[in-house]
Amino acid sequence: MATDMYNPSDEHLMIREMVRNFVEEHVEPQALEYDRDEKFNLELFRSLGELGLLGLTADEQHGGAGMDATAAVIVHEELSASDPGFALAYLAHSMLFVNNLSVNGSEEQKARFLPEVCNGEKIGCMAMSEPDVGTDVLGLSSTAVRNDAGDWVLNGRKMWITNGCIDEDGTPADIVWVYAKTGVDERGRTQISTFLVEAGFPGYSVGQKIMDKTGMRASNTAELVFDDCIVPAANMVGEQGSALSHMMRNLELERLTLAAMAVGISRRSLQAMNRYADERQAFGKVIRDFGQIQRHIGESWAEYRAMRAYLYDTARRMTLGESGHRLDSDGIKLFATTAAKNIADRAMQVMGGYGYVGEYVVERLWRDAKLLEIGGGTIESHQKNITKDLAKDPDAILR
């Protein structure tokens, strides 16, 4: 019997059906409102913890579900077919914080923090980008220095942080995975270290909630400020200077799940234009009979099927906590994110004026899709990485 690439086990199928039902009953009814009002549905988000989704890839010992990359892809695809902004908040919490901690944290740190972020009691995020720094990680200006007590004094500003604030009052995330410079090593190379900053630490605050975004409006984006913020020594993750390895271990999963969001957006856009092609008539025919419409639908179908197969094949071969999948994690994000934007654009074109208003969903998907070409690594960075990796391993083309 052939294996179902998209639901390779009964457990994967169960997760898909559970999330799809949850989306239909709870996510879809609120999606338009929360996008329009630029609000994060915190109550609905916490309920994901009751389903075991917030700690999806974390180990069971600390409250996680212990699932694999394919499960992560399934959840992001299903959520994004309805509300990509809500899905982005989920990604920032479950992948950028929870999975990061599960893979890279000490046993003491995992025991202390994972249960509360897995059940939704606390909301987490990851802070790397800064007002003047994005892809260039070594260009970070945030710093942390030891004080006389042996703790760390953190200073800097972080920008574009999903889940940086969790409500309309500017309440900061409960716990933040923060990257900062901690000096140079014996060879003069910049050291980047990782810190767990908790709400209530003096000097940790929200600078601003970022408003008027093009898309992903149902997730809160914030600037975070660290002003002589005292971080206990026990809240450093790993050794001083080990942050780059933390990034590499988690970045591939981040890019994979961002690509899964693109697949969800593409699926919903394709459904919308395909249905509308039978509902609308022009010149005495349903518009499905016109060659221009057939091109939009046909190309979208082919791209959707190609990206979905590439996505799940990459997920199948990815081992969480291990690097070495960059060629395809970058490849699928490069392809899927741009294709999703194009498919949503075609859906708007097929639906005409109806595609241009919020009630019919696709204009929101179109706006949301653009961020996927920027966040988690720009498409230009993926092009660079793929070219470099193929120079080192040209035989990858034959495998």
CA distances from 187 to 146, 194, 239, 342 (A): 20, 20, 17, 46
Cα gap 339→90, rounded to integer Å: 22
Determine whether 107 is an active site residue: no
* Catalytic member of 77, 223, 254, 373: 254
Q: How many CB atoms lie within 10 A of CB 66?
A: 16
225 close to 205: Cβ distance less than 8 angstroms: yes
Is the Cβ–Cβ distance between 196 and 237 less than 8 Å?
Answer: yes
Query: Beta partners for 133?
Result: 130
**What is the phi/psi pair of residue 230, to 5°?**
-85, 120
| Dist CA 308 CA 294 (whole Å) | 21
Task: Judge whether 27 and 86 are in contact, CB under 8 Å.
Answer: yes
Can you read off the two tokens belonging to residue 73?
Answer: 């892809």
Check if the beta carbon of residue 144 is closer than 8 Å to that of residue 192. no
Q: Give the whole-angstrom CA distance, residue 154 versus residue 335.
A: 38
Which residues have a catalytic role annotated? 254
